[in-house]
Amino acid sequence: MSTDEYTNLSEIRQHVLDIAKAQRMAEFFATLSDPNRWRILSALATGELRVRDLADVVDMSESAVSHQLRILRTMRLVRYRKDGRNVFYGLKDDHIFNLYRDISEHLDESDDD
Amino acid sequence: MSTDEYTNLSEIRQHVLDIAKAQRMAEFFATLSDPNRWRILSALATGELRVRDLADVVDMSESAVSHQLRILRTMRLVRYRKDGRNVFYGLKDDHIFNLYRDISEHLDESDDD
DNA sequence: CGCATACTTGAATGTTTGTTCAAATGTTTT
DNA sequence: AAAACATTTGAACAAACATTCAAGTATGCG
């Protein structure tokens, strides 16, 4: 038997994430797949910041930051609050930093083995 | 005062993830930012599979799967074992599926609010 | 009102990324 | 040894993405 399967594939197929769900997972992770977005999030972890100061602190242009904030907004990772001509952004919840801690450990593990 | 900062920026700057660390985090998340890679991982969660069967089960070409496995390999999410002309892949650890559960919940939350 | 400030938006651009296709490597079977 | 099979690899191509730049909206100040 050469072309035959080694496993019962039809059973496994049922456990494979369906396209829609896989897509949603991928989109979420894509949101966190940019270094500058991590820097933005880590800045906001210290508290609310207006766009201008945020840009200053992460060393990006205001426009670039604004574009990135839109992405973080649609993925509901940040909230915002208008105050006069300023807009203050903050983290929506701490979820992300538990995540950060977990992954951080995983990345450190990778050194051995 | 109009151009002035609302917050003590120099203090915040110290809490911003440095480029290298932000980069490593981003790279890890980028690994999980593709729907097909999630489907591959979910298939492997049921047990070892050779490339051919994996490709069958996730409905991709063998070549495409092989390319993606390389990425998962460099991020140490999968392990492999050669057996004759077959190569069996499996998950390196369950880490990813705790992650999966967490995010899955976060995505469901997003419906309200 | 008119100008400066804060932020957002859209088009343009260069880069990254995933798939396909063809070819290369390695293994087993006849 | 030849043919079939399993996997990997590299180049080519299209799609997705992040930044820049310029223009647009909106709020506050003189």
CATH class of A35-109: mainly alpha
Q: What is the DSSP letter of B16?
A: S
In chain A, domain spans: 35-109
Q: How far does Cα B53 stand from its chain's mean position?
A: 21
> Average model confidence (pLDDT) for chain B?
91
Contact yes or no for B19 and A9 at CB 8 A: no
A26, two tokens: 């991928």
Distance from the B12 Cα atom to the nearest Cα atom in chain A, whole angstroms: 7
pLDDT, tens only, A65-85: 999 999 999 999 999 999 999
Judging contacts by C-beta atoms under 8 Å, the chain B residues touching residue A12 are 43, 46-47, 49, 53, 57
Residue A74 CB-density burial (10 A; 0-12 exposed, 13-18 middle, 19+ buried): exposed
ipTM of the complex: 0.90
Is the pLDDT reported for residue A93 higher than 90?
Answer: no
Rg of chain A over all Cα atoms, to the nearest angstrom: 20
Tokens representing B84 are 């004759």
A37 contacts B28 by C-beta, under 8 angstroms: no
Encoded tokens for A76: 């509901």
When pLDDT is cut at 50, 70 and 90, the band that residue A95 belongs to is: confident
What is the Cα–Cα distance from A9 to A7, expressed in whole angstroms?
6
Mean pLDDT on A39-64: 97
Residue A2: the pLDDT is 40
Which architecture does CATH list for B10-109? Orthogonal Bundle (1.10)
